[in-house]
Amino acid sequence: MENHPDPLQRLEEIRTKALAEAQTVQGEAELSQWRVVHLGRSSPLMQIFSQLPQFPKEMRPAIGQRANQIKQSLEAALVELNQTLKEAALRHSLEADRLDITLPGRRPAPGRLHPSTQILREITRIFAEMGFQVYNSPDVETDEYNFELLNMPAYHPARDMWDTFYTTKPGVILRTHTSPGQVRVMRERSPEPIRVILPGMCYRYEPVSARSEMQFNQVEGLAVGRHITFGDLKGTLTDFARRMFGKDVRIRLRPSYFPFTEPSAELDIECFVCGGVGCPVCKGSGWLEILGCGMVHPVVLQNGGYDPEVYSGYAFGMGPERTAMLRYRIEDIRYFWENDVRFLEQF
Ligand code: DAH
């Protein structure tokens, strides 16, 4: 732009140029550039203000007044442009980040209970309905509670029934069954009557195969009182089997041996897969082995602080994984602790 000698003329040029350039501004960076060029300290307009004293005195009011008007209109243009740019930016981001609220939501994948936990809860619920309390005893046990107090002194041949994980601390082992909890409850409750179940993980030093794991759950049951009979045991277990496996299920008790019960028995239920006819699940026998049980041995009662001349009791122990395997036809016990979701999400 040529510098017009007439300051008023020059002011009009400044105004026209600034407003024309304002039309082409795009984006905030260009706008702040525009502000520096046209309203900044060394802009032509500001130079007019600083040159004011050099103009002839009678011209100064008119120049000053017009310069102020132009300054105000440029400032107004700036505000307006700023607003327009902000709106455009907002419109753009609304457009770009648009949410499609008609899209169906993404379903969270809900976790679910491990099959062992499901069965454990079911067993617990059934016994709770029959008046049993839940008692927890430790996974890390002593040889004394796991064997000795259960009528298996050192070198007792029946110890062979349980392959044991020993620790570096003499006498400290991982429990091989939940039965040691029996003596712990008795010692805590004596001489009160007892009706408890003891659920928990057990550990055995065994090669892992489709049929046996080195860890698995058991649920122990114990009732102690003045007049408890084998009939009570049979009645309780029959009731349990019906609630767990169906109201028409038949059971049978087979004589067996455990050092901590006398007499001892094993409970079979009629195979719920074939109804007792014989199938691969029951290996043709028509029966499924569910648990071990018996009348608490006098020595064990004694060890628990109950006089066997006055008190009697029954006990039983079952494996929830085994029950789950039968119920859901799981063919390999190793699936339980492999934590493969393809297995777990089926339950
Ligand atoms: N503790 C036994 C086992 O692990 C199971 C058992 C049998 C528990 C008879 C009992 C019982 O309470 O009376 O093989």
List pLDDT tens digits, range 285-327: 999 999 999 999 999 999 999 999 999 999 999 999 998 988 8
Domain assignment present for residue 291? The answer is yes
Residue 185 Cβ < 6 Å to ligand 1: no
**For the CA of 177, the nearest atom of ligand 1:** 4
Domain that holds residue 29: 7-96
Domain assignment present for residue 104? The answer is no
pTM, 2 dp: 0.71
Domain assignment present for residue 102? The answer is no
Q: What residue owns the CA closest to ligand 1's atom 13?
A: 293
Domain assignment present for residue 151? The answer is yes
The pLDDT of residue 97 is 86
Residues 151 and 260 reside in one and the same domain: yes
Work out how many domains the chain is built from and give that number.
2
Residue 311 Cβ < 6 Å to ligand 1: no
- Give the CA radius of gyration of the chain: 44
Cα separations in angstroms, 257 against 75, 234, 254, 295, 314? 102, 17, 10, 11, 14
What's the rounded Cα separation, in Å, for the pair 182 and 134? 12
In this predicted model, what pLDDT tens digit does every residue of 188-245 receive, in sequence order? 999 999 999 999 999 999 999 988 899 999 999 999 999 999 999 999 999 999 999 9
Domain assignment present for residue 255? The answer is yes
Residues 141 and 206 reside in one and the same domain: yes
Mutate to test the pocket of ligand 1, among 137, 159, 177 (most ligand atoms within 8 A of CB): 177
In this predicted model, what pLDDT tens digit does every residue of 231-259 receive, in sequence order? 999 999 999 999 999 899 999 999 999 99
Structure tokens at 199: 């659920």
Residues 230 and 287 reside in one and the same domain: yes
With a cut of 50, say whether residue 1 has pLDDT above it.
no
Structure tokens at 193: 């009557």
The pLDDT of residue 2 is 46
Cα separations in angstroms, 175 against 94, 147, 216? 64, 9, 11
Residues 47 and 178 reside in one and the same domain: no
**For the CA of 218, the nearest atom of ligand 1:** 4
Cβ 217 vs Cβ 321: under 8 Å = yes
317 CA from centroid of ligand 1 (Å) = 4
Look at strands 251-258 and 215-225 and give their pairing. Answer: unpaired
Residues 205 and 338 reside in one and the same domain: yes
Cβ 163 vs Cβ 176: under 8 Å = yes
Residues 84 and 151 reside in one and the same domain: no
Mutate to test the pocket of ligand 1, among 293, 300, 321 (most ligand atoms within 8 A of CB): 293
CATH classification at residue 340:
3.30.930.10
Residues 281 and 314 reside in one and the same domain: yes
Mutate to test the pocket of ligand 1, among 258, 321, 322 (most ligand atoms within 8 A of CB): 258
Residues 142 and 22 reside in one and the same domain: no
Task: Pick the last residue of a domain from 96, 125, 149.
Answer: 96
Which among 239, 260, 259 has a CA at the least distance from the CA of 251? 239
Q: What residue owns the CA closest to ligand 1's atom 12?
A: 316
Residues 41 and 144 reside in one and the same domain: no
Task: Pick the last residue of a domain from 47, 63, 96.
Answer: 96
Domain assignment present for residue 105? The answer is no
Residues 127 and 65 reside in one and the same domain: no
Residues 237 and 329 reside in one and the same domain: yes
Residues 311 and 175 reside in one and the same domain: yes
